[in-house]
Amino acid sequence: MGLSRRQFTKEFKLAAVRRLENGVSIAEVARGLEVNANVLHRWRRELRQGPGNAFPGKGQRRWSEGKIAELERKIGQQTLEIDFLKGCLQRIEEQRMLQALTGDPRSTGKSGKQQKAFRD
């Protein structure tokens, strides 16, 4: 049977980070709490990045405001690109329909001279 991951409360994490801020070394705190030093580094970084958003609880994602804004900008840009491309496709389809109705075979985009030279 595999080992289950330990889960720490928000209070435990805050107390550990407070010890670090009181001048105790990371190695000492890690040994005392039986936690990996990298975990303490992560907890301290999370608390510094967003004190109100740090340690949200079981399975909840932590999104920084900057990351959310970046993703919203990306979605906006992609929406503009999709709308532009839909318009392009609509114009191409309209041109094809018009060519089919008029019987104009110039769907290759070549000029008349190029088409005539190609046929000869």
Based on the fold, state whether residues 75 and 42 are members of the same structural domain.
Answer: no
Based on the fold, state whether residues 52 and 92 are members of the same structural domain.
Answer: no
pLDDT tens, position by position, 62-72? 666 778 888 99
Residue 50 or 46, more confident? 46
Instruction: Count up the domains in the chain and report the number.
Output: 2
Asked if residue 15 is part of any domain, the answer here is yes
Asked if residue 24 is part of any domain, the answer here is yes
Asked if residue 99 is part of any domain, the answer here is yes
Based on the fold, state whether residues 67 and 83 are members of the same structural domain.
Answer: yes
pLDDT at 111: 57
Residue 118 backbone class (left: φ over 0; alpha: ψ -120 to 50; beta: rest): alpha
Q: How far is 22 from 119, CA to CA, in rounded Å?
A: 86
Based on the fold, state whether residues 75 and 50 are members of the same structural domain.
Answer: no
Q: Where in the sequence is the domain holding 48, given as residue range(s)?
A: 8-60
pLDDT at 116: 59
Based on the fold, state whether residues 53 and 67 are members of the same structural domain.
Answer: no
Asked if residue 110 is part of any domain, the answer here is no
Q: Which residues, at least 6 apart from 109, have a Cβ–Cβ distance to it below 8 Å?
A: none
Asked if residue 113 is part of any domain, the answer here is no
Task: Find the mean pLDDT for residues 5-30.
Answer: 88
